[in-house]
Amino acid sequence: MIPLSVIGGFLGAGKTTLVNHLLRTATRRYGVLVNDFGAVNVDAALIAGQSGQAMALANGCVCCSLGDDFGAAVASLAARDPAPEHIIVEASGVSDPWRIAQLALIEPGFELMPLVVMVDATAIAAQLADPWTGETVRRQLAFAELVVLNKQDLAAEPGQAAAIVAGIRPQARTITACHGEVPETALTFAPPSRPRASRLQADLPHMFPTWRWPCPLPLDRDRLRAVLGELPPAVLRVKGLCLLGQTAEPYLLQYAAERWAFSPAPTTLAPELVIIGTPQLTNPAARFDAAVIGGWTAG
């Protein structure tokens, strides 16, 4: 039986950051399934090779694309030689992680570890109060068995997020984290009693529209910051690779809860931003045209 952990949580909570931390500090061979393969910003020194939708790491771990068939994806990962000692599935930020966990429960050869849900401690109160995001966030927490209160160092009221989670899911174990730094030992403990599993579709259609903004030309960092600072609250997430400055250095842009960060990225990824928002949002992609050096329009 291969241990399998499902990590869920709303857009920008820090799921990919946690996955990256686990890969950097791994003491075992992890097999990781992700929806957003290109956004796993693995340290370049760890990458041993990449083939199609699989990235092999020097420490024995491997990242693969989750795809549409959960059973086929985990079976393919388990069949690798050598086989992973622990599989991690990163759920989409707008999906219900319990639906994916149910699929893991009925797949032969795997043992479902505690269902992990990441929470942005700075944003959960506003997310639950928002009529567009509240139901999704509440549903993600409904079956959580381990809740990671991430970005705790940035929270204005440190105890607020824990109290909110306790009100929704008192059965869950909670831990605090900064920058997604959770020890791998925290992922394994005896979970509470679970409902009976049933075979359900892992990712149901959601109401959050998505836009893509491809741009092969470099962006001015200051103008890009100005664009990000003027985005409306209806923009929930911006994520992707962009080229900055006259030297076109590749950086991974992460934007959520009106905060953003840049980190160096591998040059193998195509320059493109993915923008996710609430249904009342008009296509925001054109706003980023203003950041292009020379004034090019992506269209």
**What's the CA gap between 10 and 195, in Å, rounded?**
23
| The CATH number of the domain covering residues in 2-187 | 3.40.50.300
The class of domain 210-291 in CATH terms is alpha beta
Q: Do domains 2-187 and 210-291 have the same CATH topology?
A: no
- Per domain, the residue ranges of the chain are 2-187, 210-291
Q: What is the pLDDT along the chain (299 residues), one digit of tens a residue?
A: 899 999 999 998 999 889 889 988 889 999 888 865 444 444 445 455 555 566 677 677 777 777 667 788 888 888 888 899 999 998 888 889 998 888 888 888 899 999 999 999 999 999 999 999 999 999 999 999 999 999 998 888 879 999 999 999 999 999 999 999 999 999 999 888 887 766 554 444 557 888 989 988 999 999 999 999 999 989 998 988 899 999 999 998 889 888 898 988 766 678 889 898 988 888 899 899 999 987 655 44
**What's the CA gap between 136 and 206, in Å, rounded?**
9
Coil, strand, or helix at residue 252? strand
